[in-house]
Amino acid sequence: MIYLLLGVAVFVVLAWAGRRARPTLEKREWRIVSGALSAVTVMAGAFVALRGGWLAGLALAAVGVALALTARRGALPAPKADDPEFREALAILGVEAGATRDEIKAAYGRLIRALHPDVGGSSSLAARLNAARDKLLGK
């Protein structure tokens, strides 16, 4: 039962911290920590299930899978620092190489609202923004 409570407590803390400090938890280090915690939680669930606590083991495994899914959310393709198109896309959107998916989308949204042809921008600038966004998001 202690493993179930520990797993739920870890999940609640990570979920709460993710809502409070979203940019911090989207960094690569926090995704690694969340992935490691998910592996430990799944193993604890297997241990509890083998000891006879099927319901508690299943609950711990479910918490571990949920943590694993949150660790993968927002993961972007590995940056290609030597790719000139990748560096140009970063410069066009004005984001850093370690930018998350949400940061890229926010930068794109801010720029497209200002440079869209319907509000006085040019279609070539909008096309460059679309291409930069697609390049960085791996589309």
The whole-number pLDDT of residue 29 equals 65
- Contacts of residue 74, defined as CB under 8 A and 6 or more positions apart, other chains included, come to 26, 31, 100, 101, 102
Task: Indicate the pLDDT class of residue 89, thresholds 50, 70 and 90.
Answer: confident
Q: Which CATH number fits domain 84-137: 2.60.120.20, 3.40.50.150, 2.40.50.100, 1.10.287.110?
A: 1.10.287.110
Task: Indicate the pLDDT class of residue 79, thresholds 50, 70 and 90.
Answer: low
Q: How far apart are CA 113 and CA 71, in angstroms?
A: 31
Q: How far apart are CA 87 and CA 83, in angstroms?
A: 7
Q: What is the pTM of this model?
A: 0.45
Q: Would you kindly state where each structural domain of the chain is located, as residue ranges? A: 2-72, 84-137
Contact between 34 and 71 (Cβ < 8 Å): yes
Residues 57-78: tens digit of each pLDDT: 888 788 888 777 766 655 555 5
Helix extents (H) in the chain: 2-20, 22-25, 28-50, 54-72, 84-93, 101-115, 123-137
Q: Which DSSP category does 117 fall into?
A: G
Question: What mean pLDDT value characterizes the chain?
Answer: 78
The whole-number pLDDT of residue 61 equals 83
Residue 138's closest CA among 93, 76, 95, 89? 76
Instruction: Give the mean pLDDT of 13-40.
Output: 65
